[in-house]
């Protein structure tokens, strides 16, 4: 059971990320993302079934000296898992710009232009001499 | 120089005492008055020399203090430069360990690197550089990379993005070189 403060933190992070007001970066652990603030860093990662055989979302807090000062392990049977999982998904989508990419697809698909790129013609493969 | 001045003052004083004695009325030109004048002159001369000596000692003490402070600053700089050079070696070592997938070795060295970076944060001569956001990011990334290595070793899962750590290390090395140059060439302290 997470404290109100941590639940508030997750909600705030979610809102900021959803409104595209948070710049997440990749961290040195694969599948982990980090958000740098002036007083430290927050990282979010997710393990699908390889943590005690249950999916879990990890939220770590680092202070300004780079020390990990707290880690929240939100497992699938925790009440807050849905919230934490939504945060992770939102962060991942924000980092990879999933929505922007799909919007770009729609823009192209809704236009009257011919879409797609032709593969290089066999003539182009000839050597220029 | 001071000895020369003392001799000049002594001779001038003796001369004026002689002149003063010379212009005394004839009835006062006694041996006793002459001895009194000479005695008074020596007393005043002694006090003056004493005062000059005190001023000279004070100046000497001030100069010694300045020299000691300069030496301490220089020593502090030498130690800081030596620590920064050690950090560069640490960066190279960590990269070597990562290239060879030796996470334990990399973890030990990255801990040393983080310690050195935090020490550097408290170096007054580098305060302008260490206050930058870039340096704070380097410390934070080093901390996170350290925990990533730690977690990977403890969980026995190789999920560390070594390329990203190497990228962070390169950035740290560039900053360390900048600090080193600042201490070597731009430090006017």
| Contact pairs from chain A to chain B, CB under 8 Å | 59
Q: Rounded CA gap, A61 and A7, in Å?
A: 14
Name the pLDDT band for B27 (thresholds 50, 70, 90).
Answer: confident
CB contact under 8 A, A66 and B146: yes
CB contact under 8 A, B144 and A67: no
Q: What local confidence, expressed as pLDDT, does residue B76 receive?
A: 85
- Taking 50 as the threshold, does the pLDDT of residue B189 lie above it? no
Best A24, A28, A35, A60 residue to mutate vs chain B (most B CBs within 10 Å): A28
Which residues constitute the domain of residue A83? 4-111
First-to-last alpha carbon distance for chain A, in angstroms, is 72
Q: Is A60 inside any structural domain?
A: yes
| Bridge partner list, A71 | A60
Question: pTM value?
Answer: 0.72
Q: What local confidence, expressed as pLDDT, does residue B52 receive?
A: 86
Q: Render pLDDT for B88-110 as a digit per residue (tens, 0 to 9).
A: 999 999 999 999 999 999 999 99
CB contact under 8 A, B161 and A41: no
Q: Is A122 inside any structural domain?
A: no
Q: Does B158 lie at the interface with A, CB-CB under 8 angstroms? A: no
The pair phi, psi for residue A2, each rounded to 5°, is -85, 150
Q: Rounded CA gap, A100 and A92, in Å?
A: 13
**Spatial contact of A41 and A22, defined as CB atoms under 8 Å apart:** no
Q: Is A34 inside any structural domain?
A: yes
Mean pLDDT of chain B: 89
**Spatial contact of B176 and B88, defined as CB atoms under 8 Å apart:** yes
Provide, for chain A, the percentages of residues in helix, strand and coil under a 3-state DSSP scheme, each rounded to the nearest 5: 35, 30, 35
| Residues in chain A whose Cβ is within 8 Å of chain B | 26-32, 34, 36, 40-41, 43, 50, 60, 62, 64-68
Q: Which residues of A touch B140 (CB under 8 A)?
A: 36, 40-41, 62, 64, 66
Per the structure, the count of domains in chain A is 1
Mean pLDDT across B139-146: 95
Pick from B25-29, B33-37, B146-150, B183-187: least confident: B183-187
Q: What local confidence, expressed as pLDDT, does residue A47 receive?
A: 84
CB contact under 8 A, B144 and A28: yes
CATH of domain B68-186: 1.20.120
Q: Is A116 inside any structural domain?
A: no
Residue by residue, DSSP assigns A1-37 as: ---HHHHHHHHHHHHHHHTT----EE-SBTT-EEEEE
C-alpha angle with apex B157: B155 to B159, nearest 5 degrees? 120
Q: What local confidence, expressed as pLDDT, does residue A109 receive?
A: 93
Q: What local confidence, expressed as pLDDT, does residue B152 receive?
A: 92
Instruction: Nearest by CB to B144, from A30, A43, A64: name it.
Output: A43
* pLDDT tens track, chain A, 129 positions: 778 889 999 999 999 999 999 999 999 999 999 999 989 999 999 987 755 678 899 999 999 989 999 999 998 888 889 999 999 999 999 999 999 999 999 999 999 888 888 876 565 566 666
**Spatial contact of A68 and B143, defined as CB atoms under 8 Å apart:** yes
Q: Is A68 inside any structural domain?
A: yes
Identify the top-confidence range among A21-25, B12-16, B82-86.
A21-25
Residue ranges covered by each domain of chain B: 68-186
Q: Could you identify the residue written with the tokens 């130690």? A: B79
Name the pLDDT band for B1 (thresholds 50, 70, 90).
Answer: low
**Spatial contact of B129 and B135, defined as CB atoms under 8 Å apart:** yes
Q: Rounded CA gap, A2 and A61, in Å?
A: 14
């Amino acid at each position: 059971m997470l404290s109100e403060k941590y639940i508030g933190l997750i909600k705030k992070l979610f809102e900021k990320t959803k409104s595209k007001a948070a710049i997440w970066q990749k961290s040195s652990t694969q599948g982990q993302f980090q958000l740098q603030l002036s007083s430290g860093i927050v990282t979010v990662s997710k393990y699908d079934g390889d943590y005690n055989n249950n999916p879990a979302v990890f939220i770590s807090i680092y202070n300004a000296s780079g020390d990990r000062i707290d880690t929240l392990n939100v497992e699938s049977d925790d009440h807050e898992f849905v919230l934490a999982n939504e945060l992770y998904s939102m962060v991942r989508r924000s980092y990879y710009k999933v929505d922007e990419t799909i919007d770009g697809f729609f823009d192209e698909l809704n236009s009257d232009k011919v879409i797609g790129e032709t593969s290089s013609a066999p003539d182009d493969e000839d050597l220029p001499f | 120089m001071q000895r020369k001045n003392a001799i000049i003052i002594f001779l001038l004083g003796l001369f004026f005492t002689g002149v003063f004695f010379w212009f005394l009325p004839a009835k006062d030109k006694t041996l006793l008055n002459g001895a009194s004048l000479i005695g008074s002159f020596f007393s005043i001369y002694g006090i003056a020399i004493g005062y000059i000596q005190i001023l000279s000692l004070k100046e000497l003490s001030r100069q010694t203090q300045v020299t000691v402070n300069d030496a301490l600053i220089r020593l502090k700089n030498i130690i800081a430069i030596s620590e920064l050079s050690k950090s560069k070696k640490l960066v190279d070592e960590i990269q070597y360990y990562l290239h060879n997938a030796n996470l334990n070795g990399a973890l030990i060295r990255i801990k040393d690197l983080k310690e050195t970076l935090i020490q550097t944060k408290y170096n007054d001569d580098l305060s302008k550089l260490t206050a930058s956001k870039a340096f704070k990011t380097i410390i934070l990334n080093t901390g996170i990379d350290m925990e990533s290595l730690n977690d990977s070793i403890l969980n026995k899962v190789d999920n560390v993005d070594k390329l990203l750590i190497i990228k962070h290390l390169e950035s740290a090395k560039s900053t360390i070189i900048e600090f080193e140059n600042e201490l070597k060439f731009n430090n006017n302290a």
